[in-house]
Amino acid sequence: MPEKAYLRSVDGVVFNSQTTRGVVEHAIGETRPHVVASPAGNRLNPQISDEEITARAQADVLKIAFLGSVISRKNLHTLVDALALLDEDVHLTVIGNLDVETAYVAKIRQQIARLGLDEKITFAGALNDKPLKAKLRESHILAMPSSYEGFGIAYLEGMGYGLPAIASTDGAAHEIITPDVDGYLIQPSDAKTLASHLRMFARDRKKLIQMSLAARERYLAHPTWDESMAKIRAFLLEMTGVG
């Protein structure tokens, strides 16, 4: 494959996660000089207090956010199936580009209509920073059970606003999320387990508060963009003999 030939030709590699590193090294069968510099989630510079997070959790409706382009790999259909299993009062806002896989978006809309979930799901489309911040600030959970994420910046961006993240066991989300502490990991197509986690959040607001505060702490502990880029810069200087 051209990718393998290219990867074998490079002198060094910058990886966005340990998971990506493992995938690449398995593919080429060897290790190259490298640095793992995780992307940051501080682009939005989220400002939210513990008091605001706690007060938000008292709202009757559990507000769920999906943050990502609406493409099949993000598994929005699994999240929709999970909502259909709930009797609790929940609402999902889908934030992301609807023009990448239009056929998939059409199938999702048909699925929503078939399951009678039109009033429980809103498509917000792609949002600029100000409306995106507002949506994340008013949400309780970020759920995106993608079949694979090389890292998963969206999870961190949600955590910045105190949103526990529900992701899948495939990909690098496990490098961000600690199950039952600041989120959950499920099999990508496991709507039943996803529904059980959402049901718990809807019913147990004390647990929601606990995990929301933990999610915010996880975000604060993560390197910023400046810190990650400094790590890459040091690696490049070492590789070129300049440092």
**Percent of the chain scoring above 90 in pLDDT:** 88
Worst-scoring range by mean pLDDT, 29-33, 50-54, 57-61?
29-33
Which pLDDT belongs to residue 1?
60
Q: Is the pLDDT of residue 44 over 60?
A: yes
**Per-residue CA distances from 99 to 68, 105, 109, 127 (Å):** 12, 8, 14, 13
Place 11 in a pLDDT band, splitting at 50, 70 and 90: confident
Q: What is the pLDDT of residues 96-151, one digit of tens each?
A: 999 999 999 999 999 999 999 999 999 999 999 999 999 999 999 999 999 999 99
Phi–psi pair at 104, nearest 5 degrees: -65, -40
Verdict on whether the full-model pTM lies above 0.85: yes
Place 43 in a pLDDT band, splitting at 50, 70 and 90: very high
What is the average pLDDT value for the chain, to the nearest integer?
A: 95
**Per-residue CA distances from 43 to 35, 199, 236 (Å):** 22, 31, 24
Q: Is the pLDDT of residue 226 over 70?
A: yes
